[in-house]
Amino acid sequence: MFNEVPSIGVEPMFNRKPLLKKQTCISCDNRSTGIGAFTLRNFSFLLYVLSFTVLADDKIKISGFANTGVSITDNETPYLKSGFDDNLNYVSNTLFGLQVDSKLDNAMHFSSQLIAKDVNEFSVDAEWVYLTMQVSPTFKLRSGRLRIPGFLYSQTIYVGNSYYWIRPPELVYETVPVTRFTGIDSLWYLPTSEGTWLINPAVGQIKDDFEYQQGKISGNSEDFVLLQLRYEGENLTFQWVSVTMDLEILAELPGLPLYQFEARLTQHAAAVNYEWSNLNFTLEALDIDQGVASPATARSAYISLAYTDFPKTYAITYQWRESPDEAAAIPLNATTIGFNFAYRHSFNLVSKFEWQHGEAEEGTHGAFQNILVVPEDNTVNLVSYALSLEF
């Protein structure tokens, strides 16, 4: 978090602080409602048109971000959701984003974020679209497609400029493929002398396709319920999130038969971030249960310690994940340790290097891509380099 900086799409009450120091930041979370997919050519044209719109109307703000990089492992078995192996992978770390924020009047605000990434051959999808009504200085209502604030960095998950990892810790963030819902929520801010509390209840539905293990999962739920409790002070951030829903799942995963089931999903996540001088400590834990043997039934956590000597940041991160007994048919047991180096070249450009050693528990697939195949070699070293840009 290091230095208080507003981020793209962050609710202004918090003035979200990124993990990488800089004077200003742009990108965060707000999400879309079925504007649909269109081509990268349409995306470029939209950016061109909107740039002129911004010149004509200062009530509209355009922000953007992009990530690109390369990864390779020493194991031929595809690893993580992106399927990294012993061939150079230039695509999975590449992403382009555009965010449009518009003040409609003194009480109404519109936000949309468009994302183009490799999972759909860089077709553009509206990640979120919603309207905000400012009821009072400390109370807001939002309606539309919204981002599920399941983790500490859910709001900035696509914005590489806001954290020192190349990808947020995978054993936590990749365990849950469902990341957005359509519905309403309320943001109730409670300022104190030391910081600000946020109480955020939400209800809605989920009817969407999600990327998972280079396959597709179709999720459908009519009774999505969420409660988020968050505190942000000068040096301390704390978050607790609870999600429940009756979920219908249809999974189409590589090399597997069609997998369909219904389950009552419950998810609890807790996180804490503390900054002291040039040190930054982050801990997140996840417990998700679908009541059936499923790759989304697991417990996981990570702990990360970073040191910043601006413009350089050095970090070490340990991750752990296990499947409880009821999910033993699809075990996810794995551990990783990773070292990160990030260098801020300028206000809006960061380069990163990451080495990660991963290990699947004997007899499980761990964090390897194919969830029903135990790899011959259960260890892997993943090396990645990435550039992250904001504009």
Domains of the chain: 37-390 (2.40.160.10)
pLDDT at 128: 87
User: Measured between alpha carbons, how far is 391 from 25 in angstroms, rounded to an integer?
Assistant: 10
pLDDT at 294: 54
Reported pTM: 0.82
Q: Are strands 124-136 and 108-117 parallel, antiparallel or unpaired?
A: antiparallel
**Residue 370 backbone phi and psi in degrees, to 5:** -80, 115
**Residue 93 backbone phi and psi in degrees, to 5:** -90, 5
pLDDT tens track of the chain, all 391 residues?
Answer: 333 343 454 544 444 455 665 433 333 443 333 333 334 444 444 444 444 444 445 688 888 999 999 999 999 988 888 889 999 998 777 889 999 998 888 899 999 988 888 765 667 777 889 999 999 999 999 999 999 999 999 988 889 989 999 999 999 998 877 788 999 999 999 999 999 999 999 999 988 776 655 566 777 788 899 999 999 999 999 999 999 988 777 777 666 666 777 778 889 999 999 999 999 999 999 998 876 545 557 889 999 999 999 999 999 999 999 887 655 556 788 999 999 999 999 989 999 999 999 999 887 888 887 766 778 889 999 999 999 999 8
Selection from 248, 245, 247, 308 nearest residue 278 by Cα: 308
pLDDT at 254: 61
| Contacts for 114-118: CB closer than 8 Å, 24+ residues apart | 114/32, 114/35, 114/43, 114/46, 115/158, 116/40, 116/43, 118/91, 118/92, 118/94
Q: Are strands 298-309 and 312-322 parallel, antiparallel or unpaired?
A: antiparallel
